[in-house]
């Protein structure tokens, strides 16, 4: 089975010549893992995917991690995390963005970033595609780091950034709140959706990828809160806030992004240690089902701050 790669818009590649129904040899396994490490975002189109072969394929890249919320997982396949638009639950996930009501919109983030131990990656596959909107965006933070000037890179090597978990988007300091209005039933605290109250966690502003050794800009807008001890790098508080604003704007540049419009049989695999992702959301009443498998992370990249 000869694999071919086609560059996607800006970042990541489409992998052609792969059939998920066929057995994966050792050489093919190594090639797939190497492509993942090199490009961070892999797209496979037109696959005949079942829960069984999605789970088996995902295990090529590492041990799988179960989702802590049992209500989101399949009874028959606990490794599958099911993203399903359910009318009776839409009111909890709906909000207004510049006058348009959207369900399940997510800002740029890295999964489990607020724990200090993000998962290694994940695979999404389309089951029911939205007729309108419903795109998933991916952003390459290694490319974002490499595009910074040398002075900024040197400064970032001295800094740590803190992420503070919040259920209310209006309390997130660096997401774009222009035109945003929370829905009347938006969760108000972590317990509303079965999450613990996570303590703050600090990361180096630049993380060295544990597998590839590439430098990754560890700046993601969701839950981003502050810089630890900015004065140690010669920054006052105002300067540290302006730096984070500038870096968030940098990560939002389209040249670091790929937005995927889902079609039947699509699978996207991404490296959560290097790539951030987001979801554009869908209008209320839209049918959309995505099945996800999550590859566990075996490295602690951040440190939990003293809750006391």
Q: Residue 305 domain-assigned?
A: no
Q: Which pLDDT score, from 0 to 100, does residue 69 have? A: 59
In the chain, which stretches have pLDDT less than 70? 1, 67-73, 88, 191-194, 307-308
Q: Residue 303 domain-assigned?
A: no
The number of distinct structural domains making up the chain is: 1
Q: Which pLDDT score, from 0 to 100, does residue 170 have? A: 92
Q: Residue 307 domain-assigned?
A: no
Q: Which residues contact 295 (CB under 8 A, 6 or more apart)?
A: 58, 61, 62, 63, 64, 65, 119, 120, 121, 122, 123, 272
Could you write out the three-class secondary structure of 284-300? CCCCCEEEEEEECCCCC
Q: Residue 201 domain-assigned?
A: yes
Structure tokens at 119: 């998962």
**Interatomic CA distance for residues 183 and 120, integer angstroms:** 32
62: domain CATH number? 3.60.130.10
Q: Residue 184 domain-assigned?
A: yes
Q: Residue 19 domain-assigned?
A: yes
The model's pTM is 0.94
Could you list the residue range(s) of the whole structural domain that residue 105 is in? 4-296
Q: Residue 301 domain-assigned?
A: no
Structure tokens at 122: 């994940």
Q: Residue 288 domain-assigned?
A: yes
> What three-state secondary structure class fits 242?
helix
Q: Which pLDDT score, from 0 to 100, does residue 191 have? A: 67
Q: Which pLDDT score, from 0 to 100, does residue 131 have? A: 86
Q: Which pLDDT score, from 0 to 100, does residue 251 have? A: 98
């Amino acid at each position: 089975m000869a694999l071919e790669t086609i560059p996607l818009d800006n970042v990541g590649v489409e992998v052609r010549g792969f059939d998920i129904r066929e057995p994966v040899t050792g050489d093919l396994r190594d090639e797939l893992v190497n492509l993942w490490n090199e490009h961070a975002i892999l797209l496979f189109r037109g696959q005949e995917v079942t829960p069984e072969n999605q789970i088996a394929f995902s295990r090529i890249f590492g041990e799988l991690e179960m989702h802590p919320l049992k209500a989101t997982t399949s009874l028959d396949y606990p490794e599958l995390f099911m993203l399903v638009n359910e009318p009776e639950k839409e009111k909890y996930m709906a909000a207004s963005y510049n006058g348009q009501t959207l369900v399940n919109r997510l800002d740029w983030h890295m999964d489990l970033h607020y724990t200090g131990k993000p998962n290694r990656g994940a695979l999404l596959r389309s089951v029911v595609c939205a007729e309108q909107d419903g795109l998933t965006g991916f952003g390459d933070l290694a490319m974002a780091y490499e595009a910074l000037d040398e002075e900024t890179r040197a400064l970032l090597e001295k800094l740590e950034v803190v992420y503070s978990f919040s259920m209310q988007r209006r309390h997130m300091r660096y997401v774009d709140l222009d035109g945003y209005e929370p829905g009347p039933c938006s969760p108000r605290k972590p317990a509303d959706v079965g999450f613990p109250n996570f303590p703050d966690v600090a990361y180096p502003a630049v993380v060295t990828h544990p597998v590839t050794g590439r430098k990754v800009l560890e700046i993601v807008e969701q839950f981003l809160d502050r810089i630890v001890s900015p004065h140690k790098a010669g920054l006052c508080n105002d300067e540290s806030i302006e730096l984070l604003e500038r870096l968030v704007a940098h990560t939002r540049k389209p040249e670091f992004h790929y937005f995927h419009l889902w079609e039947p049989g699509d699978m996207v695999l991404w490296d959560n240690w290097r790539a951030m992702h987001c979801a554009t959301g869908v209008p209320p009443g839209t049918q959309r089902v995505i099945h996800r498998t999550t590859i566990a992370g075996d490295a602690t990249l951040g440190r939990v701050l003293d809750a006391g």
